[in-house]
Structures are given as structure tokens and as C-alpha cells.
Chain A
Amino acid sequence: MEEKLQRKGQACTVGFFHKPRNYSRRALLLSIMRFDDIKSQKLFILLLDLKPEGINELKTALRLSPGTSQHDMDLPRNVLSDDEIHKVMQSLGGLSLNENVKVKEFLNRADSILQMAMSRLEEELVHILVQHKQYFEPEYVSFHSCQEDAVYDESFVSLEDETVEETSQRVSSGNVSGEYIVDLVHPRVIPDLKAIADVMFASNYDQEFCEVFIGVRKAALDEYFVILAMEKFSIEDVLKLKWSTLSSEIKKWNWAMKIIIQVYLASEKQLCYKILGEFGSVSSFCFVEIAKASLLCLLNFGEAITMGSIQLEKLFRLLDMYEVLNDLLVDIDDLLFEEVGSYVRIEFHELLRKLGHYARATFFELRSAIVSDTSLKPLPRGGIHPLTRYVMNYIKTLTIYDHTINMLLKDHDMDCSNPVAELENEQEISSVTSCALAFQLQLVTSALECNLVNKSKLYKEDALRHIFLLNNIHYMVQKVKNSDLRHFFGDEWIRKHNGKFQQHATSYQRATWSSVLSFLRVDSPGSCSILKTSPKERCKEFSIAFEEVYKNQTQWCISDPQLQEDLRIANLKVIHAYRTFLGITRISDKHIKYKVDDLEKLLLDFFEGSQRSLRSSHRR
């Protein structure tokens, strides 16, 4: 019986210390030196190894220990004084197993000392992990002063043309370079941590090790969330947040996801592996335990987002989220490929699917929003409608996400019949203009055109109706021509729409001048006179009619300078008719209210959108 116990005791100590490879002298010494009473130290050292060479090795180690302080600078309390070492060394010599110690007692003492040693190691473990933890600080983006972006206002009103900043921001915030491993714990203490792990596992104290390790590392990850200024929200909070706030939280989430998954957790996993890699599944178990709560926290934010109502302005943030998560899925799969974390991994895949679904629904919402946007009053002055600006800028921004949207639309088409085919008529279509997004975008602009035509019917004057359509279609064409949208719409579309607005220009001319010019009609020689009034009279009536047009059309607005110029030049044909009229009829100057030059000047006041004095102001 006693023999058996002794063997067990020995097995325990042997298992503990006879591991030459994994044996970290320093870790052991650290624990030994924590003993305050010399007797315990002696016994402990005795237990270490009863072989003389072992003792010698330890003697050397002990002697060296204070000197190897390059590692110990921050652990001064571990350093024994020379005097103390001397005492230990002395007493070592005086001990032997043959002393009158009962085996049972001896084993009990050994057990007790082992427990103390382990307890000390546990303390040491916490201490090292806490004191030497490090954080990866992404210096390039700070979200503490995250501005609100009010770019996509629901009201279709506030949208200006400067949406480009936004998009460039998106590109520049780019990827954290993949496979970026940092040291979450100072590398010089890794061997110590590993040694402690080896000793504790060998002594059957693996449970304690894991609990402490998981606990401290989990707390460190929680702290990292605080460092990243990631606020935690309940789902209820998220659903109640103002969009502008939510939008910046989404940006933060995107940013934090990359850092936490690609850098922090990848490094955490590495850390677990470095320290616990030898103990089979323990390493990945610990990793999952450390990471799980935080991953669920990130996940739940995403879940909360997908629960929100469909609003157009959300689309870009949703696409951002989708892209980020889509990129990160590989990393997530890598991090959690073992069974233990598989459900979190599946949850992320599911979240991606939901985000895709939500983004697609929001994208389709654009068309219905256009269709259902009705106005009761015509837009004054016939300028560019806010809806046109909104839609064109919106789709212009969408083109940056073309790859993602095409992917989402393709997934969608798996279920539905392929609508792209309908578009492929006789005209030649390049590969880009035939993609799903191109098709959808053309549906969007068609809907927009329809809507604009309906809106134009609100104008009482035909001429202004044409100016309105001219302005808006011209704006659309310009947006398409001068951006990446041209790849999606193609030359054919541009040509066709150039034609359309030119048609409206012609119709405008006719609607404006045909009645006015009728006063200037001159009988051609040989035809019967059908004109009852005299040229003088007609010239007067022409002037009145012109004044009326002038009064109206100086109010109207064409904000594009080139278009304005073109239309004014086209209007010059009135001058020609007038000059011819004056030339043929030879009306005396006193009956002529406007000279040709006057008219020419007055025509320049057209389409300024307000009085002459305000000719430089542009209503945008």
C-alpha cells in the first residue's frame, strides 16, 4: 500500500518534472521561489529530482537565476538574494530521503506542495497574461469623431451631386492586409506561458490552466472592444437608432469586423496554438471559448440590422456590410473550422445570406419608390427635378458595387426567370451592358423617364413641359456619359437619349415660336393676300407676343450652360425671321419697338431662372 502510494507520488512528481524538452527551468524556479518558508523550498526541490545530476542542474539554475535578469526586470520580487540562495543550497545538501519521514506524510506534504506550486503558477499565469498583453492599434482610421453622413435623404430633396467623397472613402478604408498576425502577448513571455502550460497540464491541472487562460484572454478581448470604442447595442436600440447614427455604427462595425476577425482573432488563435498546440483539441476549444461571446456580439448587431425596415438610403451601408462579411467568411471558416465553433460559423453564413436578401430587396425598392413618387404641383421653372438628381446619383454610386450587386442579382435569378434575355434585342450589347445590374439600371431610368413624363403633364404650357423634360433627360445623359454609368448603359442608350432631348428642344421651339412667328409671316409674291392686318400692326403684335415669351422664359431655368447656350442659339432663328420681316416690310423705325440687336440681347436673358439682375445665380 505504502509502496503504491509512493509510486503514485513519484509518478506525480516525475510526470511533473521529467520532461526535458518542455521543461522550463525558469517557470519552475519562479514557483519555487515564491515559497516563503525555506522548509517548503527544500522539500519541493527535493521532490524535483532525486538524482544527483538533477540537483546539480538545479543548483546551477538557482545560482544563475538572479543573474538572468534580462527576463526578470519586471519581476523583481522573484529574485532571491544571494543570501537566500545560499541558505537553500546549504539545506539541500543536508537532506536525504532516508530521513525519518513516513511515506504517507511525505506524500501528503508533496501533494500539498504541488498544490501550492500550481496555485502559484496559476497566479503567475494571470500575472504574465495581464501584464504583458498587447493590443493591436489600427492607427489609420479613427471612429471617435465619425461624422454623420446625410447624403441619402429619404425626402429626395437634399441630395447634391457631391456623393463621390463618400465612395472614395469606401475604397480607401480598404482591407486590413490579410493574414496579419500580431503579438497579443509580448513574445518574450510566450516561452514562459508555454512552460507553465506544460507543467500544469503534466500535473493534471489543465482545468485550472484553461479556466484562467480563457478568462483572462476573454476579458482582454472585451477590453479591446472598449479600445475600439465599439459600443454594444441591444437589438431594440439598433432598431430605434436614427439612420445617421446607425450608418456610422455600421461603418464602425465593418471596420471592427476586419480588425477583430482578420487581425485580432487570427492572432488569438495563433497564441492559443503556440501555448496549447501540443494538447490536441484544447487549443481550439480555448480559442472558441475566448472568441465566442464577442463574435456573437458582432453577429447580433448584423442580425439587428437585417431586421430593420427597407429604406433606400440604407443600401450602400448594407452592401458595405455584405462585402465585408463576404470577404471575411473565409477567415471565419478558418478560425472556426473545428466542430466546437461550427455553429457560430454557420450563423455568419446565415447572416450573409440575410444581408444579401435585404440589400437586394432594398435595391428593388428603388424602382417602386420612383414609380410611387408623385407630385401635385409642377416643379417651378422646369429645372432638374430632385428625383432625377437623387436617382442618377444613387445609381452612379451603385456602380461601385457592381460586382456585388451582380452577384446578388444572379443569386436571385436562380429562382426567377432570367429577365436579361428580354433586353437582348437586335442591338449589339457589350458584356457590361448585358449584366444583370445594367438591365436593372435601365429599368430604373425607364421608370424615372416615365415618372418625369407624368410630372411634365402638370405643366400648363407645352413649351415649359419640353424644357422640363429636356433639362431632366439631358441631366440623365450627362450623368451617364461622365461616369462609369456609361459602361452599363452603352453608346446606344446615350445616342437614343441624346435624340430624345433634342426632340424636346425642337418641340420647345415649335411650341414657343410658332404662334409668335406667325405675325412675321410675309406674303410670298404671287400668292393671294390672306393677311388682314398691316405689317405695322403685326410688328406691334409680334412685340407684345415676344414680351410675353420673354416674361415667361426668363423665369425658366436651364442650369447646364452648354444646353442654355445651344437653346439660345436655336432661338436666334426668331431674329432671322424678324430681320427678314423688317427688311421686306420696310416699316419705319418709329413703329419698331425692338431693333434686331435689342432682340438679340434680350434672348440672352432667357432660361436664367429669374430676373436679369440675377442672371449669375443658378438654382441647383
Chain B
Amino acid sequence: MRAPEYQGSFLGRISIRRNQVMSMEGNHDQELEDLELFQRHIADRFADLLSPQLQTLSEESPSSTAADPLLSISWLRKLLDVFLCCEAEFKAMLIMGRDPSQITKPPLDRLIPEMLDRAVKALDICNAVTNGIETVRHCQKLAEIAVTALDQKPFGDGQVKRAKKALSSLMMAMVGEDKEGSNYSRSWSFGRRSGGAAANHKDRGHLHLRSHTWSISKNWSAAKQIQAMTANLQAPRGGEASGLPSPVYIMSTVIAFVMWTMVAAIPCQERNGLGMHFPVPKQLVWAQSMIALHEKIGEEWKKKEKKGSVGLLDEMQRLERSAQSLIEFADSFQFPAEEERVEEVASQVAEVAETCQKMADGLVPLQLQLREVFHRIVRSRTEILDVLDSTGKVSAPII
């Protein structure tokens, strides 16, 4: 709800920057003010993400009538928006109107290459998640089949079986995820229907067409990348806390958090051990909401991890719940259906249909937005490298 406010001031500060291109270190007060503003924006943006319900109460945004539940597609899209905003602001702070030699001095000569290293890891995560969204879309399609089948009244054996088949595949796709290091996988189970119908066709009875390829590289692990992104993340202390190390640290924290959240939400290549230690000191005011979000999501992850969940994406969780109960219904179904069951099932189907609609509307835009994040990270990395290049003294090797 504070969006208009901070966007205004953000653009304002860019133009201020432009006007003081030659200003050198002397402007420490300005620097502190910038940092304070940056921290406040971070705090505000993540606070919005933490309590999205507030938005519905706000008069400023009457258009959004429904809240975006935590880890829903629309919430993730907001998260990426927040990332893009923070990133733009950060880059302005780091580069614009700054004497390049300032960012090559210790400890920045170490911190910036470390940050760029995180950026590269984040790019691979973006790609892995983009791929993971394909799996989610596959689940969406299967759920849509169930909806089509159960939309036909009255329920007949055939359509109920059809729905069950699709939902069973859906459950398999959910359970089977990120085992075998394969993030994209489709599986069909044929002839799983009880009875000996498929007995003659054993070879095609259980036909799992699983892609044994991988989307990134063979031994790539999303969890390990996330761990590597946070491993050397240390809050600046003393004098450093008021200088450039601070925004570098904040941005690194934001990128690690955003990527971790995406990986937790969307099926991704190898997520064992994702439960992230998030090394952010609790007393940092700007990080409060982020820490709270991290705890919330972390708890969810712990609950689901053991089950080999497909991810914490709200829509997928809903599908999973509905699918389970619809499968139960299908198992006990006998023609003709009882009236009360019919109503109950119909409302469940309507719910699945609604979830599918959200997925159909949101998943491709989410992919596109991830691509935008990808390109933004690439561009910023290039710009920062150019600045480092211009000073000609990059001490740490940059990959």
C-alpha cells in the first residue's frame, strides 16, 4: 500500500544521483541518508509481503479484492516485483554517480565479487525454477482433465475413472518430484486401474515416461547453490555498517531469500537439505519481516519435506488436498452417485477449477517475470563488472 510513496522517492533519488555525478566520498551524510532510505524500503516491501491481508482492507487498492496467500502464484509475482525494485535501487546506490575506485577498496574488493558470484548462482536458480514451473503446468493440465471429467453430470463410471486416472498421475507427479535429480518429469501410469485388464500388456502396463535428463547440469543442486549463496553472508559491523558494505549485504540477503523462496515453492532439481540457515541478525530492523517470512516458510518446508512434496506453491498444495479427496471419492464411487456426495464433489471440483484458472493465468507470466529477473541480474552484473574494469584493479578473480 506504500507503493506510490516509495516509488516516487526512488525515482527522485536517481535524479539526485545524476545531478551529483562528480560528488566524491565527501558526501557521507547523503550516503547515510540513502542507506536509511534503502533499509526502510526493504522493510516496507517485505512487510507488505508478510501481511498481504492488509491490502484488502486498504482503500488505496480497491482493485485487489482477494488477498494473495503466502506462496501463491500472485504472491510470488509480488515477491519478484519486490526483488526488481530493491535491485534497481541497490544498483543506483552502488554505481550511479560514484567514483569507481570506491567500490574496489577493501572490504568491497572482496564483498562485490562475492555478490557477483551469488548473482551467477541466482541465474541458474532462475533457470531451474523456470523449468520447475513446467512441472507445475503439467500438474495443472492433469487437474484440468479431472475438472473436465467431473463437470459432466451425472457422474458416470467412465468419467469418474477418467478423473481418477488424471488425479493419480497428478499425485505421482507431485510425489515423484526431484528424486533422481530429474526436475522435469512426466509420468503416465497406464493400466493402474484395478483388475486384470492390463494383464496381457505387461510391457505397457506401467509406462513411466520419465525424462532422465536434467535441466541445468548433471550434479547441479538447487539446495547446494542456496547454501553457497548464504555461506559467506556476514552482516557488516562497526564502521562498515554505515558504508557501502551495508547495501551490498542487504541486497545479497534479499537475493538469497528470494531465490530460496522460489526453490521452496517450485519443484526444482535436487532440493535435499534446503532448510536454510538464514544468517541475518535478528536485531536488524529492515530484516524483521524477511526473518518472519523465512520462519513461516521454513516451518512449512519442514512439514512437507519428508513427504517428498512437489513444493510449497499454494496452488499445488490446494490441488494436492483436493486430488486426495477426489481420489477417495472415485475409489468408493458406485453408479448412480448419491445426491449429497454429488454436491460435495461438485464444490470441490469448482475449487479445483478455480485453482487451475489461477495457474493458467499466472504461471506463464511468472515464467516471464523470472526471465526478466534473469536479465536484470545479468545486466547489473555486467554494469558492475564494467565499473570494476574501468578501475583496472580487480583483485579477486571473478568468474
Are A and B a genuine interacting pair, yes or no?
yes
Q: Is B47 an interface residue (CB 8 A)?
A: no
Q: Which residues of B contact A223 (CB under 8 A)?
A: 213
Shortest CB-to-CB span from A353 to chain B, Å, is 12
Chosen A-B contacts, 18 in total, with CB atoms closer than 8 Å, are A34-B201, A107-B156, A108-B156, A108-B335, A111-B156, A111-B157, A115-B162, A122-B188, A123-B190, A123-B204, A207-B145, A211-B186, A218-B186, A219-B210, A231-B218, A234-B220, A239-B399, A300-B127
Q: Is A208 an interface residue (CB 8 A)?
A: yes
Q: Are A232 and B371 in contact (CB under 8 A)?
A: no
For chain B, give the interface size range: 35 or more
Within 8 A of A (CB), among B126-155: 127, 130-131, 134, 138, 141-142, 144-145, 148
Interface string of B193-228 (1 = CB under 8 A from A): 100110011001001011111111110100000000
Shortest CB-to-CB span from A44 to chain B, Å, is 12
Q: Which residues of A contact B162 (CB under 8 A)?
A: 115, 118-119
Kindly state the separation between the CA atoms of A173 and B134 in the bound complex, as whole angstroms.
35
Kindly state the separation between the CA atoms of A239 and B378 in the bound complex, as whole angstroms.
13
Smallest CB-CB separation from A216: which chain B residue?
B209
Interface string of B236-258 (1 = CB under 8 A from A): 00000000000000000000000
Which of B200, B213, B335 is the most central at the interface, judged by chain A CB atoms within 10 Å of its CB? B213
Q: Are B201 and A113 in contact (CB under 8 A)?
A: no
Smallest CB-CB separation from A109: which chain B residue?
B157
Q: Is A282 an interface residue (CB 8 A)?
A: no
Kindly state the separation between the CA atoms of A36 and B161 in the bound complex, as whole angstroms.
18
Q: Is A87 an interface residue (CB 8 A)?
A: no
Kindly state the separation between the CA atoms of A111 and B149 in the bound complex, as whole angstroms.
11
Q: Which residues of B contact A347 (CB under 8 A)?
A: 371
Q: Are A36 and B158 in contact (CB under 8 A)?
A: no
Contacts A232-B213, A232-B216 known; A112 to B161 CB distance under 8 Å?
yes
Q: Are B145 and A77 in contact (CB under 8 A)?
A: no
Kindly state the separation between the CA atoms of A303 and B124 in the bound complex, as whole angstroms.
11
Q: Is B232 an interface residue (CB 8 A)?
A: no
Contact of A239 among B120, B138, B157, B210 (CB under 8 A): B120
Q: Which residues of A contact B218 (CB under 8 A)?
A: 231-232
Contacts A126-B190, A127-B204, A235-B124 known; A226 to B213 CB distance under 8 Å?
yes
Other than the known A127-B204, A207-B148, A211-B145, what 19 A-B pairs have Cβ atoms closer than 8 Å? A36-B196, A104-B336, A109-B157, A115-B159, A119-B193, A122-B188, A130-B209, A204-B148, A210-B141, A211-B141, A211-B186, A212-B188, A215-B209, A218-B211, A219-B210, A232-B217, A233-B216, A233-B217, A236-B124
Contacts A236-B120, A239-B120 known; A119 to B200 CB distance under 8 Å?
no
Q: Which residues of B contact A123 (CB under 8 A)?
A: 190-191, 201, 204, 207
Closest 9 CB pairs of A and B: A115-B158, A111-B158, A111-B156, A215-B186, A112-B158, A112-B157, A222-B213, A234-B124, A108-B156
Interface residues of B (CB under 8 A from A): 120-121, 123-124, 127, 130-131, 134, 138, 141-142, 144-145, 148, 156-159, 161-162, 165-166, 184, 186, 188, 190-191, 193, 196-197, 200-201, 204, 207, 209-218, 220, 335-336, 368, 371, 378, 381-382, 385, 398-399
Smallest CB-CB separation from A119: which chain B residue?
B165
Q: Are B157 and A108 in contact (CB under 8 A)?
A: yes
Contacts A36-B197, A239-B120 known; A111 to B130 CB distance under 8 Å?
no
Q: Are B197 and A293 in contact (CB under 8 A)?
A: no
Shortest CB-to-CB span from A459 to chain B, Å, is 30
Q: Is A432 an interface residue (CB 8 A)?
A: no
Q: Are A219 and B335 in contact (CB under 8 A)?
A: no
Q: Which residues of A contact B165 (CB under 8 A)?
A: 119
Interface string of A118-151 (1 = CB under 8 A from B): 1100110011001000000000000000000000
Q: Which residues of A contact B382 (CB under 8 A)?
A: 307
Q: Which residues of B contact A77 (CB under 8 A)?
A: 200-201
Kindly state the separation between the CA atoms of A235 and B117 in the bound complex, as whole angstroms.
11
Q: Which residues of A contact B201 (CB under 8 A)?
A: 34, 77, 123
Q: Are A225 and B213 in contact (CB under 8 A)?
A: yes
Kindly state the separation between the CA atoms of A222 and B183 in the bound complex, as whole angstroms.
13
Q: Which residues of B contact A107 (CB under 8 A)?
A: 156
Contact of B131 among A211, A240, A293, A343 (CB under 8 A): A293
Kindly state the separation between the CA atoms of A296 and B370 in the bound complex, as whole angstroms.
13
Smallest CB-CB separation from A104: which chain B residue?
B336
Smallest CB-CB separation from B220: which chain A residue?
A234
Contacts A111-B157, A307-B378 known; A126 to B204 CB distance under 8 Å?
yes
Shortest CB-to-CB span from B168 to chain A, Å, is 12
Kindly state the separation between the CA atoms of A110 and B335 in the bound complex, as whole angstroms.
13
Q: Are B204 and A115 in contact (CB under 8 A)?
A: no
- Majority SS of interface residues in chain A? helix
Q: Are B159 and A235 in contact (CB under 8 A)?
A: no
Q: Which residues of B contact A114 (CB under 8 A)?
A: 158
Shortest CB-to-CB span from B152 to chain A, Å, is 8
- Chain A interface, number of residues (Cβ within 8 angstroms): 55
Q: Which residues of A contact B144 (CB under 8 A)?
A: 207
Q: Are B215 and A297 in contact (CB under 8 A)?
A: yes
Q: Are A234 and B211 in contact (CB under 8 A)?
A: no
Q: Which residues of A contact B130 (CB under 8 A)?
A: 296
Within 8 A of B (CB), among A67-126: 77, 104-105, 107-116, 118-119, 122-123, 126
Kindly state the separation between the CA atoms of A26 and B211 in the bound complex, as whole angstroms.
30
Kindly state the separation between the CA atoms of A322 and B31 in the bound complex, as whole angstroms.
43
Kindly state the separation between the CA atoms of A563 and B143 in the bound complex, as whole angstroms.
82
Kindly state the separation between the CA atoms of A207 and B360 in the bound complex, as whole angstroms.
14
Contact of A293 among B134, B145, B166, B190 (CB under 8 A): B134
Q: Are A236 and B121 in contact (CB under 8 A)?
A: yes
Q: Is A523 an interface residue (CB 8 A)?
A: no
Q: Which residues of A contact B398 (CB under 8 A)?
A: 309
Q: Which residues of A contact B368 (CB under 8 A)?
A: 343
Shortest CB-to-CB span from A249 to chain B, Å, is 12
Kindly state the separation between the CA atoms of A112 and B330 in the bound complex, as whole angstroms.
13
Kindly state the separation between the CA atoms of A77 and B207 in the bound complex, as whole angstroms.
17
Q: Are B190 and A122 in contact (CB under 8 A)?
A: yes
Shortest CB-to-CB span from A121 to chain B, Å, is 11
Which of B145, B156, B159, B207 is the most central at the interface, judged by chain A CB atoms within 10 Å of its CB? B156
Shortest CB-to-CB span from B246 to chain A, Å, is 27
Shortest CB-to-CB span from B275 to chain A, Å, is 22
Q: Which residues of A contact B200 (CB under 8 A)?
A: 36, 77
Q: Are B134 and A343 in contact (CB under 8 A)?
A: no
Kindly state the separation between the CA atoms of A252 and B168 in the bound complex, as whole angstroms.
41
Q: Which residues of B contact A211 (CB under 8 A)?
A: 138, 141-142, 145, 186
Contacts A112-B157, A112-B161 known; A219 to B216 CB distance under 8 Å?
no
Contacts A77-B200, A300-B127 known; A343 to B216 CB distance under 8 Å?
no
Kindly state the separation between the CA atoms of A300 and B377 in the bound complex, as whole angstroms.
14
Contacts A208-B145, A211-B141, A307-B378 known; A115 to B157 CB distance under 8 Å?
yes
Interface string of A338-369 (1 = CB under 8 A from B): 00000100010000000000000000000000
Kindly state the separation between the CA atoms of A112 and B398 in the bound complex, as whole angstroms.
63
Q: Which residues of B contact A127 (CB under 8 A)?
A: 204, 207
Shortest CB-to-CB span from B37 to chain A, Å, is 31
Q: Are B156 and A219 in contact (CB under 8 A)?
A: no
Kindly state the separation between the CA atoms of A204 and B173 in the bound complex, as whole angstroms.
23
Q: Is A237 an interface residue (CB 8 A)?
A: yes
Q: Which residues of A contact B159 (CB under 8 A)?
A: 111, 115
Q: Which residues of A contact B166 (CB under 8 A)?
A: 208
Q: Which residues of A contact B217 (CB under 8 A)?
A: 231-234, 237
Kindly state the separation between the CA atoms of A296 and B215 in the bound complex, as whole angstroms.
10
Shortest CB-to-CB span from A125 to chain B, Å, is 10
Smallest CB-CB separation from A237: which chain B residue?
B217
Contact of B123 among A212, A222, A235, A240 (CB under 8 A): A235
Q: Which residues of B contact A303 (CB under 8 A)?
A: 378
Smallest CB-CB separation from B156: which chain A residue?
A111
Kindly state the separation between the CA atoms of A73 and B135 in the bound complex, as whole angstroms.
36
Shortest CB-to-CB span from A602 to chain B, Å, is 52
Shortest CB-to-CB span from A546 to chain B, Å, is 51
Kindly state the separation between the CA atoms of A111 and B162 in the bound complex, as whole angstroms.
10
Smallest CB-CB separation from A127: which chain B residue?
B204
Smallest CB-CB separation from B142: which chain A residue?
A211
